[in-house]
Amino acid sequence: MAFLSPVALAGLGAVAAPVAIHLLNKFRVKVVRWGAMQFLQESLKKNQRRLQIEDLILLILRCLIVALLAFAFARPVINPGGSGAAAAAGGPTMAVLLLDQSASMGQSDGVQTRMDLAKAAANKLLDKFGQGSQAALFLVTDRVNEVIARPTENLALVRRALDVSEPGGRTSDFLSAIRLALDTLRPFSGAQKEIVIFTDGQSAAWKQIDEIKPLLDANPDVRLRVEPVGGDHGEDNLAITALVPENMVPAAGQLFGCMVEVSNFGSVPVTGVRVTLSLNEDAPCDEAVIEKIDPGQKSAVRLNVRFAQAGYQTIRAAIPPDRLPVDNQRAFAVQVVDQMRAAIVEGTQAKTKQDRDGFFLANALVPVPQARRVEYYLKVDAVQPSWIDEADLSRQELIALCNVGTLSANQAKKLQKYVNEGGALFVFPGANTNPVDYNNGSLKDLLPATLGPLNDPGKKGELAAWESRGYPHPVTALWNDAKTGSLGTVRASKFYTLKPKTPDPKIADAPKPLTVVRYSDSSPAIVEWTLGKGRVVLFSSSATTQWNNLPIHPNFVPLIKRLLGYATRRDQQGSLTLQPGAVFQQTVNAELVGREFSVVRPDSKGKPRLSGKVELVNRDAVVRYRDTETTGPYRVFISGADRPVAAFAVQMDPQESNLAVMPAERLAALDNDKSKPAVAGAETRESKPSVGIRREFWGALLWVAALGALLEMLLAHKFSIAR
Amino acid sequence: MATENVNLLDPEAVTKGEALGLIARRIVEGYRVGEHRSPFHGFAIEFAQHREYSTGDDLRHLDWKVLGRTDRYFIKQYEQDTNYVAHLLIDGSESMDYGSGSLTKLHYAKVLGACLAHVILAQRDAVALNVFDTQIRERIARTDNPGKIHEIMQRLAAVEPGTETNLSRAVQDLAAAVKSRSIIIVISDLFGEEEGFQKGIERLRFQGSEVIVFHVLDPYEMEFPFTGTVKFVGLEGAPELQTTPASIRKSYLKSFNDFRERMIGICERADSHYVLANTAVPVGETLSQYLAFRRNYRTR
């Protein structure tokens, strides 16, 4: 005999309670001086023995009741060794069901999804459980959702939890789930302990399969089985694995480019893939057709949208639906600006426009004819360094220092504050540049690199060229594709050698300089870093054609636009694109505190759902939204408003689109006790002899205890009457 | 007036003679408001009955008027024409020192005795006081002098609980000492030898005395309401007993009630009055109830 809940045996200590009460009563004696002793003596003489026997009977009965209750709660079983076949023949099982909730479980065979199959298999397993069996249910993605954290005998509850489970947008990791399941089963003894995994066997979820085996070896009393659902091989799948906005400023009335990457995870080539791009869940506004994608390959197309108005907007790319619909679309959100201001600080005052330090930069920033500049979103002013002292820098989205000499301490301080608060700063050196001041003076803490010696290959009739391929930085990554041209034809006759600063290892979030583009000799041509909330971009050469040909290079305008977009976007993309389940949080206008907000979700068919109130967090009005398991675009509206106050998108992990499965043999090898037949096997249940069946009899003990209690009451009543 | 402030059953007051006297007087006066006849006029010079003349009868008692009217000889019979003597026999043993409250049975017996003495002396009859435990240890000889009331009260108040009870010896000693027909008033819890008590009572009755037994009992003795575990320390030298009273209550009550039944039986057989004096009931109430009963009894 063993016990399923041996901890309850500690309750046997309570047997001492009736004895203790008895003794306590003995010690709590009241003393009375009494005259009528003769009657007492007479009564005691007559009843002493009977009283002792009656008291003893009641004491024994009470102790017995307490002991029976303790035994019943400890859930004794007969023949505890009768696991396996015995359990299959009706013995209790203590199981933790791990249900794969990753996005790949949404794969359909046309009738049922893999999640449906997994739920059916889990229900079938529950049907086979013997009397007294218990089950817990964990939903597994890259985090474990303990829906039913501890095994329960209420299997109907487990079935209900199974019924409402739906695939999410995350990937899976079974190692941590198995660890947690083992911890859950550890306190139990006596019953057959099992971890049953219902999964499509996607390889991505079993990256750490080799670490699972040692875990099971350390817990030999727990059996782990994998119940694969779906096919035993991966199915074809076409997915949008990336939707990347180009590094441009999203501005009202302007075209905005996105790169859509489509991957073919199937085993056959796919042709004629139509890719569409839509704005704010409207009809597609741009589309392209990818002619062919070979198996295991991916292809990218560039699509554009034009924003009609400023504010938060969502962009969704889509391909025709297949059996895994969740990855046939991908979205992101942007905050579209209406107007931006930029100031170009020029170090010299030239007589002609063309000779000004910022002439080319100003034209690159506003690449439209003079007549249309009024309606263009970006307004550029050319100013002198003294302007920095007087101006309110916070009104500028971009400040560019072109050939600026030594700056005063006040000017440097204002620039530092401007960048820290989110401003973008471009720095072009020139003839007025004082490297000592840049490196050790007022701009020392602002720049991502120090200025080395001034290289002058032009003197020798030579020119330094930019590298032509292999741009790791997102701003220049566009030119990795030969179709978009090349930066390799940029030449410089004079430039400073840039030495990117080394991040301070003692400071965890110290800014790290990134090289945007290099010269062909690998020395950096442009270096940038994020400082506070803003960004600083340092060029090695001037913004004029005196030192290089960049200002007249065909890619100068796109490079400047991308740098502007990159520097002014800051971390917007990170905060507006979430993983499934992450909490969306956005600061809004302080006047909105306490107002209700609604969210138009990907699955709400365009209808807003009331979702909460704007909270006050650290003196900021904050919209906070947690229900983000579904992938797609979300738009947040304050009740009564037409335009969203915030927007964001939830993107699934692209590796979930790869439906390649772990070989069945490897999953089967995880079963650490194949000698024991599966509980789920009905045929096993019928064919095995019913030897060594484990039986719980706590119910019978409870009945006996109840009868004992009844008997005690009757006897106590009878004895009290007799006395 | 100081007497107004005396608590009639204050244990402190009962131990002081003057206070005891005041208590007794107040109780008795309370009872006698509107009363003109004493219930103890049993031996007054009142006509009792006629009987036929027989040879040897004293002709002085011949009823000449009846002879004249009917020509028959009848002798007039009278009650005894002398004042009676009431002997108060008060139990001063240790068992009387029990009280579930602050008032013990002995306190109660003292007040009851004082009241009776007051009543008897007030109607010019004689009273004698006897306090006993193993034997009669306190005695005041018969007196019909009302001026002696103070001494009686003082002596009564000074009574302290003694040792064991020997009721039968006390009754028999008294029977030996009483020469004439008297009223014997026993105030006791009657814990002791029953057979000796019965013989003593019978002897007193045989001598022509009237016996009244006031059985003083505490309500706890009659109901035994103790709970939990109780150690009973025996008065009068009985050994200690520790028990759970709830478990023997029924048996105890049966024994106790049997004892009371036996006491009542002894009194009835001896044609004596048995009066339960429950210490939870005020002395005045106990006394007035008995006196009312006695008057009715005589009227029948």
Distance from CA of B252 to the nearest CA of A (A): 5
Q: For residues A460 and A83, give the distance between their C-alpha atoms in angstroms, rounded to a whole number.
A: 88
Q: Please give the pLDDT value at position A79.
A: 56
Q: For residues A173 and A196, give the distance between their C-alpha atoms in angstroms, rounded to a whole number.
A: 15
Q: Please give the pLDDT value at position A684.
A: 33
Q: Please give the pLDDT value at position A83.
A: 42
Write out pLDDT tens, residues B162-212: 877 788 888 888 888 887 778 889 999 998 888 888 888 888 888 888 889
CA distances from B252 to A529, B236, B246 (A): 101, 19, 10
> Is the alpha carbon torsion for A207, A210, A211, A212 positive or negative?
positive
Distance from CA of A51 to the nearest CA of B (A): 7
Quote the ipTM score: 0.74
Q: Which residues of B touch A33 (CB under 8 A)?
A: 97-98, 233, 235
Choose between B263 and A506: higher pLDDT.
B263
Write out pLDDT tens, residues A681-703: 333 333 333 333 456 677 888 88
Choose between B128 and A349: higher pLDDT.
B128
The whole-number average pLDDT for the span B75-96 is: 76
Percentage, residues of chain B above pLDDT 70:
80
3-state SS class at B281: coil
The beta-strand segments (E) located in A131-206 are 134-140, 144-152, 192-199
Q: Please give the pLDDT value at position A86.
A: 40
Q: For residues A239 and A103, give the distance between their C-alpha atoms in angstroms, rounded to a whole number.
A: 12
Q: Which residues of A touch B256 (CB under 8 A)?
A: 36, 39
Residues lower than pLDDT 70 in chain A: 1-2, 4, 78-91, 190, 231-235, 247, 569-574, 672-696, 720-723
- Give the tokens for residue B196: 């000796």
Q: Please give the pLDDT value at position A633.
A: 92
Q: Are A51 and B248 a contacting pair at CB < 8 A?
A: yes
The number of residues in chain B equals 300
Q: Please give the pLDDT value at position B4.
A: 39
**What phi and psi, each to the nearest 5 degrees, are found at residue B17?**
-60, -45
At residue B261, does pLDDT exceed 90? yes
3-state SS class at B22: helix
Q: Please give the pLDDT value at position B82.
A: 45
Q: Which residues of B touch A44 (CB under 8 A)?
A: 241, 243, 248
Confidence tier at B287 by pLDDT (50, 70, 90): confident
Q: Which residues of A touch B98 (CB under 8 A)?
A: 33-36
Q: Are A37 and B230 a contacting pair at CB < 8 A?
A: no
Confidence tier at B80 by pLDDT (50, 70, 90): very low
> Is the alpha carbon torsion for A628, A630, A635, A640 positive or negative?
negative
Q: Please give the pLDDT value at position A47.
A: 78
Distance from CA of A62 to the nearest CA of B (A): 18
At residue B292, does pLDDT exceed 70? yes
Write out pLDDT tens, residues B13-71: 555 556 666 666 666 665 554 443 444 443 334 566 788 888 777 787 888 888 899 88
Chain B residue with CA closest to A31: the answer is: B231
Q: Are B233 and A33 a contacting pair at CB < 8 A?
A: yes
Whether A181 and A112 have beta carbons less than 8 Å apart is answered as no
Q: Which residues of B touch A22 (CB under 8 A)?
A: none
Q: For residues B59 and B74, give the distance between their C-alpha atoms in angstroms, rounded to a whole number.
A: 10
- Give the tokens for residue A63: 């102790």
Q: Please give the pLDDT value at position A691.
A: 35
Chain A residue with CA closest to B256: the answer is: A39
Q: Please give the pLDDT value at position A3.
A: 72
Instruction: Tell me, rounded to whole angstroms, the distance of Cα A419 from its chain centroid.
Output: 30
